[in-house]
């Protein structure tokens, strides 16, 4: 019985594990269209550019998951 319980617990933990970039994209999906300042505040950062490196990583590794509106400054981001 204990072995089955441990296996079920491990399987549940494996489904939950995600990268920080995926966590940030999920938060952006909740927010909708937002600036990097709003997005980083929602993630718990006090600085407006707290997610600058994360945004760069997402743009370089997974550009298909993030849409960036460059028309006006500040840029607005949307998770796809």
Distance of CA 45 to the CA centre of its chain: 13
pLDDT digits (tens, 9 = 90+) for 52-80: 999 999 999 999 999 998 878 889 999 99
Long-range (24+ apart) CB contacts under 8 A made by 26-29 are 26/79, 28/66, 28/77, 28/78, 28/79, 29/79
* Nearest alpha-carbon partner for 78 in 70, 66, 61, 62: 66
What pLDDT score was predicted for residue 74? 87
What pLDDT score was predicted for residue 1? 47
pLDDT digits (tens, 9 = 90+) for 13-65: 555 567 899 999 999 999 999 999 999 999 999 998 899 999 999 999 999 99
Ordered domains of the chain (ranges, CATH): 19-79 (1.10.10)
Give this prediction's pTM. 0.75
């Amino acid at each position: 019985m204990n072995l089955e319980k441990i296996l079920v617990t491990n399987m549940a933990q494996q489904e939950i594990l995600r990268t920080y970039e995926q966590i940030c994209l999920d938060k952006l999906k909740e927010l909708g269209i937002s600036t990097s300042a709003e997005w980083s505040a929602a993630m718990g950062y006090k600085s407006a550019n707290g997610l600058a490196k994360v945004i760069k990583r997402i743009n370089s590794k997974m550009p298909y998951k993030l849409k960036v509106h460059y028309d006006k400054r500040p840029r607005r981001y949307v998770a796809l």
